[in-house]
């Protein structure tokens, strides 16, 4: 195990309340693990945060939340960056690595409504807000009569739109609401196996320049191997499918008591035609990449390629 001699660490972060919470959480964990370490937060605005009138798919995908933070690392203005791992493309830009994936929080989605306790309670034609194609596909499968409308912005912005009456309900991530002290807004959890999250949802990742041994050594203490094994399987499935925010892809992996892995996967039709599901199990000897690739192949065998081609 390598030890770091660094005494100061600069962490790049987006400026949203949730991003800052996650970065401050990482900072507190690092300070506890490395007494005397000085940490500086480097808040930055990303294109993904600035352009809110179009879907992520329309403006270039979730990687837009990372680009400015990665550029700051390349310029030497930051040593690492904190991300929601679900926002990190399955293939990093050359020259970057993820030495730490923190223990996963609740991976489920949250049903949030001021009037309706569940999806089933909504009247026909009710308006539900989400810009996630994955969430839209699963909502359509359950309630094809609903009106689904795009909803972007930070968590508080989305809740404000709901409270203003623009939507009858919205779907958000449970982890984000809990981290912001808003768990009381969750009317119901939309959870596996019936409802699947985005690959790696609920997990925080720390990215740095590949080969920066001193930074990697500082961050390694935060890595949670069980979480990493699960999210690597989910992301491997997504990689094999060439999934992106253009196509509804969902995945959730869980470790068994015997250290084997169970992976649930889903691909939806972006035009609203249906959903394909798969379950893949493996023993402890199988690599997460193998499990994810097998799940993807099973989905492709069901015809997922036709859905993916439309994305």
pLDDT 10s digits, 13-63: 999 999 999 999 999 999 999 999 999 999 998 765 555 444 445 444 556
Listed in sequence order, the residues at least 6 apart from 208 whose beta carbon sits closer than 8 Å to its beta carbon are: 73, 79, 80, 81, 96, 97, 99, 215, 216, 219
In this predicted structure, what is the pLDDT of residue 99?
A: 98
Q: Where are the alpha helices (DSSP H) in 39-86?
A: 47-50, 56-59, 67-74
In this predicted structure, what is the pLDDT of residue 97?
A: 97
Listed in sequence order, the residues at least 6 apart from 220 whose beta carbon sits closer than 8 Å to its beta carbon are: 1, 99, 100
Q: pLDDT exceeding 90 applies to what percent of the chain?
A: 84
In this predicted structure, what is the pLDDT of residue 52?
A: 46
Residues of the chain whose pLDDT is less than 70?
1-4, 47-63, 243-245, 273, 311
| CB-CB contact of 62 with 91 (8 Å) | no
Classify the phi-psi angles of 60: left when phi > 0, otherwise alpha if psi is within -120 to 50, otherwise beta: left
Which of 49, 87, 109, 262 is catalytic? The answer is 87
In this predicted structure, what is the pLDDT of residue 186?
A: 98
What is the distance between the alpha carbons of residues 207 and 277, in angstroms, rounded to a whole number? 31
Q: Is residue 109 annotated as part of the catalytic site, yes or no?
A: no
Grouping H, G, I as helix, E, B as strand and the rest as coil, residue 118 is: coil
């Amino acid at each position: 195990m390598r030890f770091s001699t660094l005494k100061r660490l600069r962490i790049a972060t987006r400026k949203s309340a949730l991003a800052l919470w996650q970065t401050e959480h990482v900072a507190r964990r690092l300070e506890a693990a490395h007494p005397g370490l000085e940490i500086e937060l480097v808040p930055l605005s990303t294109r993904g945060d600035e352009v809110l009138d179009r879907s992520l798919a329309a403006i270039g995908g979730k990687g837009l939340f990372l680009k400015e933070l990665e550029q700051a690392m390349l310029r030497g203005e930051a040593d690492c960056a904190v991300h929601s791992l679900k926002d990190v493309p399955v293939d990093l830009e050359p020259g970057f690595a993820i030495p730490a994936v923190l223990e996963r929080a609740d991976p489920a989605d949250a049903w949030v409504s001021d009037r309706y306790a569940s999806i089933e309670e909504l009247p026909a034609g009710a308006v539900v807000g989400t810009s996630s194609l994955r969430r839209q596909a699963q909502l359509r499968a359950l309630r094809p009569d609903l009106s689904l409308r795009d909803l972007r912005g930070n968590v508080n912005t989305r809740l404000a739109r709901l409270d203003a009456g623009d939507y009858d309900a919205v779907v958000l991530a449970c982890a984000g609401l809990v981290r912001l002290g808003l768990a009381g807004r969750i009317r119901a959890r939309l959870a596996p196996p019936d409802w699947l999250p985005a690959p790696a949802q609920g997990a925080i990742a720390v990215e740095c320049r590949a080969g920066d041994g001193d930074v990697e050594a500082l961050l390694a203490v935060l890595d949670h191997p069980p979480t990493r094994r699960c999210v690597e399987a989910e992301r491997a499935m997504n990689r094999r499918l060439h999934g992106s925010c253009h196509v509804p892809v969902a995945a959730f992996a869980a470790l068994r008591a015997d250290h084997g892995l169970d992976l649930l996967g889903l691909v939806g039709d972006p035009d609203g035609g249906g959903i394909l599901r798969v379950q893949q199990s493996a023993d402890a000897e199988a690599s997460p990449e193998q499990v994810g690739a097998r799940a993807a192949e099973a989905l492709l065998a069901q015809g997922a390629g036709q859905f993916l081609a439309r994305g």
